[in-house]
Structure 1
Amino acid sequence: MSAPTDLSPEAPAVESGRARHPRAQVIAQAWMELGASVAPLSNGSGRPLARTSKLILDPLVIRPLQNPGLAAGTLTDDAAVELRERIRAAGPDLSAAAAWFLELKAARRRLRITDGNPQEKYFQRCYELARTAGSPAADAVAVAAGAVSEIAQSSGGSLLARVRQLLADEEHAAVLGRELDDAWRRRPASMTPPAPAETVAAALDECPTGEGSAAFDALVAGAAGTASGAGLAGEGIAQGLGLTRHPLPPLPRIGETASKRDLPLPFDRSIFERLFAALSGGVPPDLAVDAEGLLSEEIVRSARVWQLGEEEGRVAMLLGAEASSALEENGPARPTAAHRLLAARWHREAYVRRALRLPADLSGVPAAVVDDVRAVRRGYLRRLWVRLHGRELRDQRVEGRDVWDLLDGVLRSVVMDQRQRLKTAMTRGADNREATEAA
């Protein structure tokens, strides 16, 4: 594997008047110059989060529509200089936006709001606050509470309400049921051969650097995601990946009710449960689909390979399924950079090491968490599917530069959830001991 790209600000420029600079690398270099003040908007590698790029940098700072010279995947010397200067000039606003994001997240916790992704909901409002009010001041708590409350009220489930109305109509529900039966009966068999192992490995080697677009694009062009999911129709395959409780993925119901506390595994969800899980936190205002279109699209999506509608999402599932093999006891024989980084993140957790190396009764880790640790790949792939499905519903196409943020972010989410469950279990245990001693 080649040496990793130097992303420090002092990385030498290419000595050519016609040099081409990877756009992602230019952004990463300029971003890292901003320092720790933008950490809430950064990923674990110090680069801007995918949502930071999508919601703040591209539309509000770089503005590629108004500045087409800054939109290409590779930039000229002059364009690279201009892009760096735009990000540097926006540094104070970006730092203030990062501080506002912490304030809005704290307000969200105080108000006990759990719907939706905080980054998706608050990033642009935080940048607006940064531009109009500067950094958080003495009134930050009140301002943040007002902003969070306003966003929660404006993103109510009006589209989901219209979906429910359609499903409550017996005649319309019957039509949708026939559409669903027909879509599943006509599921095409994949004739695409599996992707070359070296192309998959190249994508997994390159994606942590933010430069995995070429290999990723090749996998998409070759329908590698579709080919990889063809085996999911085999008995026990999808079940083994944690996507269904059944030996074979069942025909989903249409449904008309859902609860976040009791959602089934991804492939076992009704059509309505799939929409509810992804959109109950709010619907993007620019989502160009009505309730009928939303239902019809979800029916078609459910009958596709990996039960995803876009090849980019299916390729991301292929890469996630391959990369997550590093989390199992017997990892891959020839690990890539993505394998190594995921395995390192996973095994540096003390509770993971104890759960894997010690008998359950000696590890100090609750049995339910031990079970999750030992079946982590299934939990990982479930979360990855949920994120990809949500992106499709919001028309957020996956690109090569997004892949590592997805793969790494899903594992971070799994770890944070398990840490919280471990903390809760230990707190309960301590409370029970105190109650026993006091009795």
Structure 2
Amino acid sequence: MPSPSQPSTGERRPRAMVIDRAWRGLGPGCRALSGPGGAPLTRTVKLIVLPLIVRPTLRPEFAADFLGAREAEQLDALIRESGAVLEATAQWFTLLKKTRRALGIVAGNPQDLYFQRCFELATEHGAPGPGAEAAAKSVLADVVDATGGRTVEALKEHLADSARRARLDAELTAAWVGREAATGAADTGPADEVLDACGVPGAVSPAFAAMVRAGHGSLLGRALWSAHPADVGDRADLWDRADLWGRSDVPPHLGLTAHRVPPRPGVGRSASTATLPAPFDRTLFERLFTVLQTSTHREHLPTVPELVEREVGRSCAPLGLHDESLRVTVVLGGRLAVGLDPLGTGGSVTGPTAAHRIVNSRWQREASVLRARRMTVSPGPDPDGGVLNALAQDLRTPWAAYMRRLWVRLHGRDVRDAALPDAASAWSVLDGVARSVMMDHRARVRTALRSLSANSEPAAEPRSA
């Protein structure tokens, strides 16, 4: 018999949808791990459900994006069977947040820091009971020790010293002036060979290593530096035409800067996730703020003073990255990004490479399956004052969100000295970013539609006295 939370159909279903439906069937006990609409938080799926319950590396039948009816029922049952430990995890998370506030701890994102610790506590002890407060304090102390002072607050304190700020500003000026000029034309052509092998089982592409050896990522970075109007004279239109990517409607920097040429980075002393500028336009503080906010294992990061010193050179390096394999992955990502077609405007699943076809096929299935996605491209009036139109525009220019998220992910790897050794590892990052952007857009559409639905409901009739 089909699971009660899953439809009885032979069609393949998105794994994310199976997880969502199963989660909603767990009831209110998991509210602390859920969003306003009852769906699991993105971090709940990323940090708890997939790695600790689904465990697709050990259960390859659950690793695919789309599951058959049998696998969907099994996954649904697996999540429902984990309901008790998930409810206990939610209770531990609530307790840890309460204890954290009592102790005056403000560093880091509680979900990133405590979700997996709470699951461990729930697995070992069940729901919080006698001695739970002491256990919570112990976990909080362990997390604080593990971060080793690698916090946003420590970064803010480090950069508050005026003499240190002046020295760093002088170092940034010297590093920016000393950048290497472009010595050859940036060429994105070889990227297609790598992307054509991506996603094909057993395919090997020596082109990735060749691109790294030839410094294709560095060439792109230097080309972006040297394309200032003063360098091209009256032919600034050549820069605007964006021949680099084979498209005239996208900027060569693909939205990684709001300027024609990336500006010299400053030191900075504050940041907000809601107002972060484009990656190439960020200060040292903003670059490291993102790293410290999103890192789940800060003990593996350099100390704050070392992070700052390294970021001076990195921020003035080609594409804002030190490692050439990561720079080459920016080239690959750019080539993939300009061929993304979530709306299927090409009439079918198109793209110059296998990677394009894989990502576009997945995204276009998403567009055809979810009613919310279809509404974003409706030609009718936008009843919410522009939110749906803005979401539709995101689908028309998907390269912008894709490249921004890709750069952030590669920057995090660069900070941790985590190079990409081959095409397969690069594809894992490229594909992961595509999935992340797609799921984020889906969540935003659902939120907009939920808001529209709530606003359109008629007000309740006043009751007579």
User: Is TM (by shorter chain) over 0.5?
Assistant: yes
AA at the equivalent of 2:300: D
- Deviation for aligned residue 1:292: 2.9
Q: Which residue pairs with 1:410 in the alignment? A: 433
- Deviation for aligned residue 1:337: 1.1
Q: Which residue pairs with 1:204 in the alignment? A: 195
Q: Does the C-alpha gap of structure 1 residues 366 and 221 become closer, same or farther in structure 2, counting only changes over 3 Å?
A: same
Q: Which residue pairs with 1:359 in the alignment? A: 379
Contact 2:217-2:331 within 8 A present in 1 as well: yes
More helix, by proportion:
1
Within the alignment, does 1:341 sit opposite 2:358 as a pair?
Answer: yes
Gaps of 5+ in 2: 1-52, 65-77, 98-105, 228-238, 243-250
Q: What TM-score, normalized by structure 2, do the two folds share? A: 0.62
Secondary structure of the 1:245 match is coil
Q: Does the C-alpha gap of structure 1 residues 39 and 120 become closer, same or farther in structure 2, counting only changes over 3 Å?
A: farther
Contact 1:192-1:223 within 8 A present in 2 as well: no
Among 287, 308, 319, the alignment partner of 1:295 is 308
Q: Which residue pairs with 1:424 in the alignment? A: 447
* Identical columns (%): 33
Among 149, 159, 167, the alignment partner of 1:158 is 149
Among 272, 277, 283, the alignment partner of 1:270 is 283
Among 375, 382, 386, the alignment partner of 2:397 is 375
1:141-166 CA deviation, whole Å, 9 max, x = no partner?
889x9598567545558234443233
Q: Map 1:311-350 onto structure 2 (within 5 A).
A: 311-328=324-341, 329=345, 335-350=352-367
Tell me, in whole angstroms, the C-alpha distance in 2 between the residues paired with 1:354 and 1:380: 22
Q: Which residue pairs with 2:220 in the alignment? A: 228
Q: Does the C-alpha gap of structure 1 residues 321 and 150 become closer, same or farther in structure 2, counting only changes over 3 Å?
A: farther
Tell me, in whole angstroms, the C-alpha distance in 2 between the residues paired with 1:175 and 1:418: 42
Q: Does the C-alpha gap of structure 1 residues 141 and 308 become closer, same or farther in structure 2, counting only changes over 3 Å?
A: farther
Contact 2:91-2:128 within 8 A present in 1 as well: yes
Q: Does the C-alpha gap of structure 1 residues 333 and 347 become closer, same or farther in structure 2, counting only changes over 3 Å?
A: closer
1:222-280 CA deviation, whole Å, 9 max, x = no partner?
11112233332335666761212222212222101112222122112111110011112
Secondary structure of the 2:277 match is coil
Within the alignment, does 1:434 sit opposite 2:457 as a pair?
Answer: yes
Secondary structure of the 1:280 match is helix
Secondary structure of the 1:241 match is coil
Q: Which residue pairs with 2:165 in the alignment? A: 173
- Deviation for aligned residue 1:291: 2.8
Q: Which residue pairs with 1:398 in the alignment? A: 420
Contact 1:157-1:279 within 8 A present in 2 as well: no
Contact 2:180-2:222 within 8 A present in 1 as well: no
Q: Which residue pairs with 2:180 in the alignment? A: 188
1:188-243 CA deviation, whole Å, 9 max, x = no partner?
1232454573x422211223247546332221111111223333233566676121
Residue correspondences, number: 347
Contact 1:205-1:338 within 8 A present in 2 as well: yes
Q: What TM-score, normalized by structure 1, do the two folds share? A: 0.65
Among 252, 258, 271, the alignment partner of 1:258 is 271
Tell me, in whole angstroms, the C-alpha distance in 1 between the residues paired with 2:276 and 2:376: 27
Q: Which residue pairs with 2:300 in the alignment? A: 286
Q: Does the C-alpha gap of structure 1 residues 114 and 167 become closer, same or farther in structure 2, counting only changes over 3 Å?
A: closer
Contact 1:253-1:271 within 8 A present in 2 as well: yes
Secondary structure of the 2:306 match is helix
Q: Does the C-alpha gap of structure 1 residues 354 and 228 become closer, same or farther in structure 2, counting only changes over 3 Å?
A: farther
Contact 1:255-1:270 within 8 A present in 2 as well: yes
Secondary structure of the 2:159 match is helix
Tell me, in whole angstroms, the C-alpha distance in 1 between the residues paired with 2:61 and 2:291: 25
Secondary structure of the 1:301 match is helix
Tell me, in whole angstroms, the C-alpha distance in 2 between the residues paired with 1:255 and 1:265: 15
Tell me, in whole angstroms, the C-alpha distance in 1 between the residues paired with 2:277 and 2:258: 9
Tell me, in whole angstroms, the C-alpha distance in 1 between the residues paired with 2:185 and 2:373: 37
Secondary structure of the 2:332 match is helix
Q: Does the C-alpha gap of structure 1 residues 435 and 256 become closer, same or farther in structure 2, counting only changes over 3 Å?
A: farther
Secondary structure of the 2:391 match is helix
Q: Does the C-alpha gap of structure 1 residues 261 and 299 become closer, same or farther in structure 2, counting only changes over 3 Å?
A: same
Contact 2:349-2:361 within 8 A present in 1 as well: no
- Deviation for aligned residue 1:182: 0.9
Contact 1:360-1:367 within 8 A present in 2 as well: no
Q: Which residue pairs with 2:47 in the alignment? A: none
AA at the equivalent of 2:298: P
Q: Does the C-alpha gap of structure 1 residues 316 and 240 become closer, same or farther in structure 2, counting only changes over 3 Å?
A: closer
Tell me, in whole angstroms, the C-alpha distance in 1 between the residues paired with 2:220 and 2:349: 17
1:296-338 CA deviation, whole Å, 9 max, x = no partner?
2111111122111110111111111111222145699862111
- Deviation for aligned residue 1:290: 3.4
Q: Does the C-alpha gap of structure 1 residues 412 and 381 become closer, same or farther in structure 2, counting only changes over 3 Å?
A: same
